Chains A and B, each alone.
Chain A
């Protein structure tokens, strides 16, 4: 009997997501898929999966998962940690792949300020595809479950992943700072010169009204030029920043409608979309203008960085300090004392797990 990952407690918004639907935009189906594609790519590499394999994207209240009928390989994305209970209770950290044995459960926790996170699933998921994807779009009932995961749902795993023990990246990605890069357009000229300058200079904060469709920004209002605040609806891609008549920008995200009728002042570049995904209401952000060519170069650079990270996987000894892993991390990170747990605020205390 194949292993199953059972959703023991669903959490608030747990959705199966991968790299998104393909071929649906012409019939009104957005790409959907995981908001944090960089994390999805890295977790799938860490698990030895295809890089477009589906993961569970969680938000607000984290779930509790149980393995049944066989072991299930999981990997936690940034902003997450977990406690495994069963015969061998142990903590697991972010960027760690581990095996959940049959009967064991893992209770996930968000780190403070983390709005959305991913749980990678190792092996081959035995669920149907729609539009080349196992992503979920609840408003159209699309996806293997067609809705967010509920208590008792089970994800069947037909081909289990290899179990090389707990594994992590020697040098996981570091949080980035600095302004988000955006290409002006598709409708930059629908805004006054002054408003374009404001947009690429002012500080905005993430509004409360933020979901998988879009992120409302609070900050200086933008004025439309004499062309007005309505356009003939045209195509949208994630990262497009539309500005309705109120002048307050909205960054459109994975589940946004495929077309929109408000002018879009700029579009966040692909390489910075994952950073957007990790912003929570109240977080501050700025934008800086780049060209299409710079955006394309950034996409190539990002893929090279991710591949470099993915190529250096080391043992993760959950609950104990693994001097070798930390030492290697130090080589990259530079200025941290690896043996002092205080420098790793979310690292479990070694005393509790001798």
Chain B
């Protein structure tokens, strides 16, 4: 694939732009490039490279200027990407995450989208959401696409406190807030599964390239699952249905 641009972050990092529009095509390009570059990094073929982070349309490579040169890294990455083909869901898992569709913004969204609360829940839950990137907060998944007609911008006045576990939509995407946080997206529901736990070997439950389907649950079932997760009777990893 073609490298659109290599954009420097001074002598600390360089961002490789691989697509221009958020969506499944960008995800396929970025996912394949991520896998390729992670392999090179692991093999020690990117001198000075420290780590990679993935965004919707780009990958940022952080490096140590005392151990490598950006010009050299860019040349190596450009060459590696030339024979890398985009690949959808190369190694993602499929998750089925419970969601109680009683979000604070459902009524507002229902009026705005001219759908009932139930229709919003049903259509959101029957969609397979692909994790495009993890960011903003530790473990927070940005997922797309939303069903047609679900297009809303951010709220004009962001909330100062969005509760932990909130499932929220805006700009064609869905997120789950791993922690209580300020936030400007429209809350449709709540997911009881903890997304970030430093006790786990891999602290983030979800990874870019994973897919997520939400299982609608009633309030009492949400509470029951939450309690079972709290006391360790349910392993969060058990919500992964299958590895591809």
Contacts and interface: CB of A to CB of B under 8 A. Distances in A.
Interface string A176-200: 0000001101110000000000000
Contact of A182 (B10, B50, B59, B140): B10
B51 A22 contact: yes
Nearest to B206: A27
Interface residues of A, number: 47
B66 interface: yes
Nearest to A294: B11
A29 interface: yes
A215 to B, nearest CB: 16
Contacts of B135: 28, 233, 257-259
A27 B13 contact: no
Contacts of A238: 12
A236 B56 CA distance: 13
Interface stretch (A89-97, A135-143, A278-286, A323-331): A135-143
A232 B11 contact: no
Contact of A29 (B7, B138, B179): B138
A25 interface: yes
B66 A299 contact: yes
Contact of A237 (B10, B140, B204): B10
Interface stretch (A57-65, A119-127, A265-273, A341-349): A265-273
B62 interface: yes
Contact of B55 (A141, A232, A264, A292): A232
A239 interface: yes
A81 B140 CA distance: 41
Nearest to A141: B198
Given A22-B51, A238-B12, A270-B11, A29 B58 contact: no
Contacts of A239: 9-10, 12
B168 interface: no
A23 B51 contact: yes
B137 A28 contact: yes
A270 B65 contact: yes
A237 B70 contact: no
In the A-B complex, list the 8 residue pairs whose CB atoms are closest, starting with the nearest. A235-B60, A186-B7, A27-B204, A295-B11, A25-B53, A267-B10, A237-B9, A299-B65
